[in-house]
A = this chain, B = another copy of it.
Amino acid sequence: MKKVAIVGAGQSRFGEFPDKGIKELFLEAYQDMSKSVDRNFDPKRIQAAYIGNLGCGGFQLGNLSALMSEYIGLPYIHTMRIENACASGGYALATATMDVLSGTHEVVLAGGVEKMTDMSGSKTRYWLGVSGDTEYERLAGTTFSGLYALLAQRHMHEFGTKREHLSMVAVKNHKNGAMNPKAQFQRETTLERAMAAPMVAAPLNLFDCCSTTDGASAVLVCDADVAKQFTDTPVYVAGFGTSSDYLAIHDRLATVSLEGTRRASERAYKMAGVGPKEIDVAEVHDCFTIAELLAYEDLGFCEKGRAGPFLEEGHTQLSGDRPVNASGGLKAKGHPIGATGTGQIYELFHQLRGTVQKPGRQVKDPEIALAHNVGGSGGTVAVSILTR
């Protein structure tokens, strides 16, 4: 069976850029990716592009992947927009991987882009709302933070998870983000400050919620045999798994777990032939602090209900035995919806190759990495496992 490799990964700066449109953001990520390829990069070799995106810049653009492809200079390729809410990028990588495995194309781009600022606040809130169940949740008045607040409430009730645990996620991720030159928020915070932030949807306060962000990311995926032409140190896609779930949380099997994460990671571990204990570094989908705690459990990093203590014991700190969100995560790095999935891959590509820009945030010698990307409140989930 074929093997799939990643030979380049790029990311735009994440943040709020009133002077940049969706095309400029994607070009920035593409150019950054091209510079990361060790040798022989040639745009003419790119035969396909899978581009994750939710909002099309306020629903202003259709046929978006063709527009992005022509703008980066690839007008006649196989190109396709993928929309699985916030998990679009993770599915873009999965699709690129299947494409290469199928033998259809040899060198393929997987990426994502989102322009979220420069719109009225209500418009952005509306976008995010559409990722849940519109009929039973959004139109009934539930906000997106409200949905995750319900999951947090229940987790605290069932397992004694403390408010402090939520804030500890924010403190950890802001600490990491402070060292990431491409993060939206490059500053640390304290537990006191995080605890005292204004309430958004109890128990989630402002520091429990990720921001709205402009940004793009792109990775170059190819057949492992072809990879040798581009680099001596490719990163391999050892496994991937995805799963959907009922959109409305009232339909779910549980409210203290994302079934999609459980199933997607089970499939990815099986394909890669590794288990959760073998993961050296992970980027998980912390759109809200509670989401990172749920991920620890649903990915099998710790037992169900034990995420709070697991975090408190320091395992997921940069210096711990399983660093999570070394990039700052969605919380500090920012969350440009469609770009988040391949943005995680960008981070792990450089972590595995030892090429993160600031040595302070380089995880020590990781060999196996995991990316976890969630759409909506768990309606779609993509998990990828990368190896050196």
Contact = CB atoms under 8 A, between A and B. Distances in A.
A337 to B, nearest CB: 9
A40 interface: no
A84 B185 CA distance: 34
The majority secondary structure among interface residues of chain A is mixed
A23 to B, nearest CB: 9
A94 to B, nearest CB: 8
29 contacts: A54-B62, A59-B130, A61-B130, A62-B127, A62-B130, A63-B84, A63-B247, A63-B376, A64-B83, A66-B376, A67-B247, A69-B244, A70-B245, A75-B244, A76-B244, A76-B259, A77-B243, A78-B242, A78-B243, A78-B244, A79-B244, A80-B82, A80-B95, A81-B84, A82-B83, A97-B102, A99-B102, A101-B104, A102-B102
A226 B246 CA distance: 29
A120 interface: no
A131 B60 CA distance: 9
Interface size class for chain A?
35 or more
B63 A375 contact: yes
A103 B101 contact: yes
A210 B127 CA distance: 30
A81 B379 CA distance: 12
Contact of A376 (B62, B103, B133): B62
Contacts of A94: 78
Given A82-B82, A83-B83, A95-B95, A247 B66 contact: yes
Nearest to A130: B62
B245 A76 contact: yes
Interface string A344-388: 000000000000000000000000000000011001100000000
A317 interface: no
Nearest to A337: B62
Closest 8 CB pairs of A and B: A62-B130, A101-B102, A102-B102, A66-B244, A66-B379, A63-B85, A62-B131, A98-B102
